[in-house]
């Protein structure tokens, strides 16, 4: 059994969240078929909310439906991954401009705490926590931009990005580099250097793409 039992009146969003969690944790792997009937049986619910959940995940690009075969976890191609990271870089470069325009003590305290947490996880070499804190930092950059559409688009990438990271943990063996990059980015935000901060965040994301592509060559 992969999934825990649910209340009979469970809503599709809850089911979708559980399926996404199973995918990002590597329990259901990229390219693997998703068994709608088995999920419903595991959760003790009807197939209807599972079917609705999979439709939502299809819209997000997390799963794909292959006619006459079924639903599968989306196995992204090289071009898909590159496009996703390029768009993410553009989104975050715009977001960081807005963050610098809107910056206040609350924003700076939150981002400073994010960077301190990243540095602690780097020091302790805690991979799982580091992945979470890294994503949280970038999520806060987007949230503090105040642009809801930007946030929605960015969030749509996150399940796929987590899946890619979990495919190859050596992607996060560049521990020290991660800590330095986030600290430098925070300093540029504090100093209000918009252009340099934008260049830094785009370079940071594209470098992450380079590390990821190198790691995924064996797949």
pLDDT digits (tens, 9 = 90+) for 148-201: 999 999 988 888 887 776 665 555 566 678 889 999 999 999 999 999 999 999
Note the pLDDT of residue 111.
Answer: 97
CA 18, 20, 26, 27 dihedral sign is positive
Give all strands of the β-sheet with 63-66 in edge-to-edge order: 33-34, 70-73, 63-66
Q: Which residue spans within the chain are E strands per DSSP?
A: 33-34, 63-66, 70-73
Note the pLDDT of residue 218.
Answer: 59
Write out residues in the chain with pLDDT < 70, as ranges. Answer: 1, 7-10, 165-175, 215-219
pTM > 0.95: yes or no: no
Q: How far apart are CA 119 and CA 185, in angstroms?
A: 13
Note the pLDDT of residue 174.
Answer: 66
Note the pLDDT of residue 156.
Answer: 84
């Amino acid at each position: 059994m992969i999934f825990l039992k649910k209340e009979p009146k469970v809503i599709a969003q809850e089911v979708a969240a559980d399926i996404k969690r199973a995918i990002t944790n590597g329990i259901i792997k990229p390219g693997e078929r998703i068994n709608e009937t088995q999920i419903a049986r595991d959760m003790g619910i009807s197939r209807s909310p599972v079917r609705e959940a999979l439709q939502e995940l299809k819209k997000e690009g997390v799963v794909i439906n292959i006619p006459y075969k079924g639903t599968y976890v989306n196995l992204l191609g090289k071009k898909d991954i590159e496009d996703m990271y390029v768009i993410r870089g553009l989104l975050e470069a715009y977001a960081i401009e807005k963050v610098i325009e809107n910056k206040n003590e609350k924003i700076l305290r939150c981002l400073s705490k994010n960077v301190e947490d990243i540095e602690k996880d780097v020091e302790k070499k805690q991979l799982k926590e580091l992945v979470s804190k890294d994503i949280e930092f970038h999520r806060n950059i987007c949230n503090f931009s105040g642009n809801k559409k930007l946030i929605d688009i960015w969030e749509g990438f996150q399940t796929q990005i987590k899946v890619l990271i979990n495919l190859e943990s050596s992607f996060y063996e560049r521990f020290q580099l991660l800590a330095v990059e986030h600290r430098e980015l925070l300093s540029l935000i504090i100093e209000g250097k918009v252009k340099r901060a934008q260049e830094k965040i785009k370079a940071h994301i594209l470098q992450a793409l380079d590390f990821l592509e190198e790691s995924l060559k064996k797949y």
